Amino acid sequence: MCAGCVKSLPHISNSCPICALPGPNEPCGRCIQTRPSFVATIAALRYDWPVNALLHSFKGSADLRIGRALAQLLAEKISSAKRFILPETIVVPVPLHDSRLRERGFNQSERIARIVAQHTGATIDTSVLVRTQATNDQKTLSRQARQTNLIDAFSLQKAPPADILLVDDIITTGATAEAASRALMRAGSNRVAVCCIARTPL
């Protein structure tokens, strides 16, 4: 994308430091009331036009060029927020269930994670976290249903790293990030931070 197009995208400059909900640079009411399993989130863009259309092309039409361009924006934002990449940080993508992976042909979060790792110099590990349940599509569910939809959806194939940057494409309610982070923390991780290309304003 040209510099003008990048500049015109709905960048997130102020947000909750824990869940990246656009707003003041302070913990939002939801995070104060119920602290997530992850300690922080960074999101590059607000999930609004044209980001929603770009991500649809990336995921739905396998337009990997768009995916790379968006992932690069996220990687640059992570690099500028030095607290997200510590020397021992391991980049872990949110996995797809095997059935969804066969249907789509690629895991969009893994594609994003590889660019984040390459740009930041961190190590990526795609073998830590697995999705053991073929859950319903999150975008079709209510907030409450999204939470229950992901109960026990993730498991670990091996002992997880102590410090993890969990990578996803979109965060809406944070249910996926919470379920994956909870599984990692229960298995022995000390710190899970989250990043995504786009965050939905609630």
Q: What is the pLDDT of residue 144?
A: 57
Outline where DSSP puts E strands in the chain: 40-46, 90-93, 123-124, 129-131, 154-156, 163-171, 191-199
Domain containing 178 equals 3-199
CA atoms of 132 and 114, how far apart (whole Å): 22
For 65, counting Cβ atoms within 10 Å of its Cβ (0-12 exposed, 13-18 middle, 19+ buried), the class is exposed
Q: What is the pLDDT of residue 179?
A: 95
3-class DSSP state of 175: helix
Q: Count of domains in the chain?
A: 1
Q: How many residues does the chain have?
A: 202
- CATH number of the domain at 74, please: 3.40.50.2020
Q: Extract the tokens encoding 156.
A: 């670990």
Identify the helix (H) or strand (E) that includes residue 79: helix 64-80
Tell me the average pLDDT across 131-136.
74
Q: What is the pLDDT of residue 138?
A: 45
Q: What is the pLDDT of residue 83?
A: 80
Task: Give me the chain's average pLDDT, please.
Answer: 91
Residue 170: pLDDT band by 50, 70, 90 thresholds? Answer: very high
Q: What is the pLDDT of residue 152?
A: 80
Partners of 41 in beta bridges: 194
pLDDT in tens, 33-92: 999 999 999 999 999 999 999 999 999 999 999 999 999 999 999 999 878 888 899 999
